[in-house]
Amino acid sequence: MNSPMLKIENLVMRFGGVVACNDFTAEIKEGQIVGLIGPNGAGKTTIFNVVTGVYKPTAGQILFSPNGIEQHQLTGLSPDKIAKLGVCRTFQNIRLFGELTVLENVFIGNHLRVKSDVFSTVLRLPHYVAEEKRLYEKSLYLLEKIGLQDTKDEKASSLPYGMQRRLEIARALATDPRLLLLDEPAAGMNPQETRELIEFIREIKDEFDLTIFLIEHHMEVIMEISEKIYVLDHGVLIAQGNPSEIQRNEKVVEAYLGVG
């Protein structure tokens, strides 16, 4: 049987005396969209940070299998190595390179897929020039995909908020991920933008053959697109299941509304 794309086992993350995440276990299969929800401060972003290598977990392990055969232990790897294996993310508070242009932001995502060395770069050898052209076209294509091809030379910080969110996704796509982690992609969006976002996520999932792990507070987004949902409260997993199971789960309702 194929191993799941991402397997998180008994993950513990402590910051001094604070336990941000306690004994969390989850599994994401190839091609799934999996949601991660929970009240503010439940430890959702912490899990993303551990998976992408920003934090080293106190205990537990994370196994990533880009093709269902080989398995990589992600814990202890540096963020750039993890990105190279095919895990990329977006951020809850947008973190674009504001001073760089829109196109450069996407182009930077290509960085890790470049095979050329210093000499071919300096001497502009033919294969380097060809490579550069290919990546340039790929970046343009991604910009077209998010509807930003006309603003490619503007500073990323000058874009409206919703567009910046999309640009972050495009930048992540440029790294050719297998697993894409989206941290609250619909934050601050109105209902119309949210609808478009749902469509957009579905579209890129099919086109780029992605598996998606998603944190979101907009319940309509989560319930509509996730096949499976994990619910976290105070760092502890309190429920998991498909959307309708989660909606009926008493513990989940309690965690969100407080015990009456």
Partner 1 sequence: MGDVSIFLQHLTNGVSLGSLYALIAIGYTMVYGILRLINFAHGDIFMLGVYLTYYGVTYTSLPWWLVFILAPLLTGFIGILLERVAYKPLRGSARITILISAIGASFLLQNLGIVIFGGRPRAFPVPQMLNHVIRLGGVSINVVTFIIPAVTIVLLLGLTYFTTKTKTGLAMRALSKDYETASLMGIDINKIISITFLMGSFLAAIGGILWGSRYPQLMPLMGSMPGLKSFIAAVVGGIGNITGAVVGGFILGLGEIMLVAFLPRLSGYRDAFAFVLLIIILLVKPSGLMGDNVTEKV
Please report, as ranges, the residues that interact with partner 1 according to CB under 8 A.
Answer: 52-54, 78-80, 83-84, 88-89, 91, 95, 97-100, 104, 107-112, 114, 118, 121, 132, 171-172, 175
Long-range contacts, 70-78 (Cβ 8 Å, 24+): 71/3, 75/50, 77/53, 78/53
**Nearer residue to partner 1 within complex by CB, 126 or 260:** 126
**Nearer residue to partner 1 within complex by CB, 22 or 48:** 48
**Do the strands 236-241 and 228-233 form a parallel or antiparallel pair, or are they unpaired?**
antiparallel
**Nearer residue to partner 1 within complex by CB, 176 or 193:** 176
Cα dist from 91 to 49, 177, 230, 256, whole Å: 10, 15, 19, 23
Nearest approach, Cβ of residue 55 and partner 1 (Å) = 11
Nearest approach, Cβ of residue 142 and partner 1 (Å) = 13
Nearest approach, Cβ of residue 220 and partner 1 (Å) = 28
Residues 116 and 130: their CA atoms lie apart, in Å, by: 11
**Nearer residue to partner 1 within complex by CB, 156 or 229:** 156
Long-range contacts, 13-18 (Cβ 8 Å, 24+): 13/43, 13/46, 13/47, 13/50, 13/55, 13/57, 13/58, 13/235, 14/58
Nearest approach, Cβ of residue 87 and partner 1 (Å) = 9
The one-letter amino acid code at 202 reads R
Q: Is 38 left (phi over 0), alpha (psi -120 to 50) or beta?
A: left
**Nearer residue to partner 1 within complex by CB, 1 or 118:** 118
Q: For residues 251 and 72, is the Cβ–Cβ distance under 8 A?
A: no
Nearest approach, Cβ of residue 100 and partner 1 (Å) = 6
Nearest approach, Cβ of residue 233 and partner 1 (Å) = 27
Token pair recorded at residue 161: 């908020």
**Nearer residue to partner 1 within complex by CB, 55 or 196:** 55
**Nearer residue to partner 1 within complex by CB, 1 or 122:** 122
237 HSE (CA, 13 A, CB side): 18
Q: Indicate the helix (H) or strand (E) that contains 250.
A: helix 250-257
Nearest approach, Cβ of residue 136 and partner 1 (Å) = 11
Residues 43 and 38: their CA atoms lie apart, in Å, by: 8
